[in-house]
Structure 1
């Protein structure tokens, strides 16, 4: 199984900005941490988030976007290495698809 990677030029600005902002609240302000959250930013390697943080973030996403954005269900379909390599762009694309927002074709 391969992860649905957002292409390098992925643009869903409204959804990405909301997801990045919510992540900033969870992980800490990226400006204070010394980097910007981009579509290529990884949850594990770059943000240092663990699986428990993803569980917390799943609740934040469902609260903000609605129950159709079920991160736990999305992650359950992935292999461990795919979850570890998950990027903010991957997640923004998933959110856009589930919430009916703009997403790449």
Structure 2
């Protein structure tokens, strides 16, 4: 999903790891996070509510958001949905 989003900007050769930040490393803006939230919802439905996840963060936390933190959130959300 993230690579598809980056391809739209012609940045498909970027290395992405767990410590990669959305803002500093990938230079994504808030509208890009909204797009990513929509794609996550398309893929996982209500089980992964990225918009709610971001809403619970301070501005500085959003700026420093890493791919790893998003991955951890998605995994935790899916496990919680499976559990009940």
TM-score (norm 2): 0.85
CA displacement at 1:30 relative to structure 2 = 3.8
Map 1:23-102 to 2 at 5 A. Answer: 23-28=2-7, 30-31=12-13, 35-100=14-79
Unaligned stretches of 5+ residues in structure 1 = 1-21
SS in 1 for 2:28: coil
Could you say which structure has the higher helix fraction?
A: 2
CA displacement at 1:27 relative to structure 2 = 1.3
Give runs of ≥4 in structure 1 deviating > 6 Å. none
**Number of corresponding residues:** 77
Q: 1: distance between equivalents of 2:67 and 2:40?
A: 13
Unaligned stretches of 5+ residues in structure 2 = none
CA RMSD of aligned residues (A): 1.4
Higher relative contact order (CA 8 A, sep 6+): 1
TM-score (norm 1): 0.69
